[in-house]
């Protein structure tokens, strides 16, 4: 009864504040470093002793739905503006919890529909998640004083924790459910005493207890290259790096070629033979890289990373081995960087070997 009474008191206080008193909420947590907007919003709701949906209906109105979208990607201005006002957070920090800062680095232009290059897809359907679009490191969560989910865990390029060197998880290791911490309070009364956000909403397994696994490394130089590419996203501000939009675009194009079913495309087989590792079974069909499992992405990234370590001679060797044709290297590749375009077009002037 005490918690219910407390929630009613907080609810009444919040309702009053919306009209004519201080705009600040009683609880006004600031985002943790690299925290996702969705995680920050759930923490604010639970901090007020309310279920997420109750809190959002109360503060934003029943007609303004929050959780029927990938809110980290598709955050509406009214939501972020309200959080800025009610928590006293700077606009730069508030918008920094969304995936927008990756524009011009991982993908060229933000768009509302279809996949975004290198951004894992949640596949939201009626507030449920049918895709495995949020990863986590159990050791990072265990080391947090208050467990929270990082923005860079939404990046498909990341498969290994750059802090602890272990594989990330893209689902609950106990029941296989996608990470959906906003659904932890779905059952029960309006007033809640929920578990930390590190718990699985489906089976209540604590992700902090997941056993970390060492990544399978195909090539040391490749592993170092991939780690360097990922480390610039660990912080609130993306660090300066030699890795830019062009480099990431080339890697994404090569990942696409690795999974294509064109008759004359054998690039994946060529790289596997060069580094002496077996292939793994990939999900069939036209599956975007951003919708593939972490095991598939880790495998493909190491193959592509091997090419990127010394791109021109290794791509030339693949072309000479008839593992890839020059026109496929540029197929459906909008605005490729000049260095890559030069390599691909050079093949078009040579007689097939």
204 and 338 share a domain? no
pLDDT at 43: 97
What pLDDT is stored for residue 353 in this prediction?
45
* Alpha-carbon distance values, 259 to 173, 254, 298, 314, 329 (Å): 27, 9, 13, 18, 13
Do 62 and 133 lie in one domain? The reply is: yes
How many Å apart are CA 125 and CA 219, to the nearest integer? 39
Q: What band does 79 get if pLDDT is binned at 50, 70 and 90?
A: very high
In sequence order, the 6+-apart residues with CB closer than 8 A to the CB of 340 are: 246, 250, 253, 311, 329
Does 89 map to a domain?
yes
* Shared-domain flag, residues 201 and 246: no
Q: 288 near 115, Cβ under 8 Å?
A: yes
188 and 274 share one domain: no
Least confident of 113-122, 170-179, 297-306: 113-122
Closest by CA to 280, choosing from 290, 288, 291, 272, is 272
Do 180 and 296 fall into the same domain? no
Indicate the residue among 161, 177, 209 that finishes a domain: 209
- Give residue-wise pLDDT tens across range 55-72: 999 999 888 989 989 999
Residue 20 is predicted with a pLDDT of: 44
Task: Show the domain range for 261.
Answer: 220-348
Q: Is the pLDDT of residue 310 over 70?
A: yes
Q: How confident is the model at residue 118 (pLDDT cuts 50, 70, 90)?
A: very high
Per-residue model confidence (pLDDT) at position 91 = 97
CB 71 within 8 A of CB 124: no
- Within a domain: residue 215? no
CA distance 302 to 224: 10
Which residue did the predictor score with more confidence, 111 or 338?
338
How many other C-beta atoms are found inside a 10 Å radius of the C-beta of residue 247? 18
Averaged pLDDT of the chain: 89
CA distance 108 to 298: 23
Clarify whether residues 148 and 10 are in a common domain: yes
DSSP state of 327: H
- Please report the DSSP string for 83-136 in residue order: HHHHHT--HHHHHTTSSGGGBTTTBSS--SSSPPTTBPP--EETTEE-S----B
pLDDT in tens, 154-167: 999 999 999 999 99
pLDDT bin (cut points 50, 70, 90) of residue 2 is: very low
Mean pLDDT on 73-84: 96
4-18, 136-150, 303-317: least confident range: 4-18
Give the integer Cα–Cα distance in Å for 260 and 303.
Answer: 14
pLDDT for residue 352: 47
pLDDT at 326: 87
Interval 180-213: pLDDT, tens: 999 998 865 554 667 899 999 999 999 999 999 9
Q: Mark whether 159 and 256 lie in a shared domain.
A: no
pLDDT band for position 147 (cuts 50, 70, 90): very high
Alpha-carbon span 121 to 129, nearest angstrom = 9
Which residue, 218, 185, 106, is CA-closest to 151? 106
The whole-number pLDDT of residue 131 equals 85
pTM of the model: 0.91
Same domain, 87 and 42: yes
Q: Is the dihedral of CA 254, 258, 264, 269 positive or negative?
A: positive
State both tokens at 98: 């969304």
Boundary residue ending a domain (181, 209, 237):
209
Q: Do 23 and 97 lie in a common domain?
A: yes
Q: 148, 175, 209 — which closes off a domain?
A: 209
Same domain? For 294 and 194 the reply is no
In 99-239, DSSP assigns E strands to: 124-125, 128-129
Name the helix (H) or strand (E) containing 304. Answer: helix 294-309
Choose among 33, 18, 84, 94: nearest CA to 236. Answer: 33
- Do 124 and 259 share a structural domain? no
Q: Are strands 128-129 and 124-125 parallel, antiparallel or unpaired?
A: antiparallel
Query: Are 118 and 256 contained in the same domain?
Result: no
Q: Count of domains in the chain? A: 2
Kindly tell me if the per-residue pLDDT of 127 is higher than 70: no
Lowest mean pLDDT among 44-48, 122-126, 296-300, 340-344: 122-126
Banded model confidence at residue 284, pLDDT cuts 50, 70, 90: confident
The answer to whether residue 353 is domain-embedded is no
What is d(CA 20, CA 257) in angstroms, rounded to the nearest whole number? 58
214 domain-assigned? no
**Cα dist. 302→52, 198, 274, 332 in Å?**
39, 29, 12, 23
Average of per-residue pLDDT across 24-33: 95
Tokens 């580094």, residue located: 275
Give the best-scoring range by mean pLDDT among 106-110, 121-125, 134-138.
134-138
Q: How far apart are CA 36 and CA 48, in angstroms?
A: 19
């Amino acid at each position: 009864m005490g918690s219910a009474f407390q929630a009613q008191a907080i609810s009444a206080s919040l309702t009053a504040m919306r009209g004519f008193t201080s705009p600040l909420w009683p609880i006004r947590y600031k985002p943790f470093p690299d925290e996702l907007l969705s995680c920050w919003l759930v923490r604010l709701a639970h901090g007020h002793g309310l279920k997420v949906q109750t809190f959002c209906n109360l503060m934003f109105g029943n007609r303004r739905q929050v959780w029927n979208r990938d809110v980290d990607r598709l955050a509406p201005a009214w939501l972020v503006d309200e959080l800025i006002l009610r928590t006293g957070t700077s606009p730069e920090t508030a918008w920094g919890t969304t995936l927008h800062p990756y524009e011009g680095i991982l993908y060229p232009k933000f768009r509302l529909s279809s996949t975004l290059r290198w951004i894992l897809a949640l596949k939201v359907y009626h507030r449920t998640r049918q895709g495995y679009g949020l990863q986590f490191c159990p050791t990072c969560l265990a080391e947090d004083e208050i467990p929270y989910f990082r923005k860079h865990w939404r990046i498909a390029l990341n498969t290994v924790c750059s802090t602890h060197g272990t594989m990330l998880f893209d689902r609950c290791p106990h029941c296989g459910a996608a990470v959906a911490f906003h659904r932890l309070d779905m059952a029960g009364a309006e007033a809640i005493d929920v578990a930390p956000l590190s718990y699985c909403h489906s089976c209540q397994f604590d992700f902090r207890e997941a056993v970390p696994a060492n990544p399978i490394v195909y090539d040391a130089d490749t592993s170092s290259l991939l780690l360097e590419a990922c480390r610039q996203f660990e912080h609130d501000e993306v660090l300066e790096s030699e890795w830019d939009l062009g480099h990431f675009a080339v890697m994404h194009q090569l990942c696409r070629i690795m999974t294509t079913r064109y008759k004359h495309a054998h690039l994946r087989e060529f790289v596997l033979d060069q580094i002496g590792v077996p292939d793994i079974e990939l999900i069939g069909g036209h599956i975007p890289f951003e919708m593939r499992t972490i095991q598939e992405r880790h495998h493909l990234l190491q193959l592509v990373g091997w090419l990127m370590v010394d791109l021109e001679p290794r791509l030339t060797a693949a072309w000479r081995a008839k593992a890839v044709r020059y026109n496929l290297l540029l197929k459906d590749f909008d605005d490729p960087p000049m260095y890559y375009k030069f390599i691909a077009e050079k093949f078009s002037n040579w007689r097939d070997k």
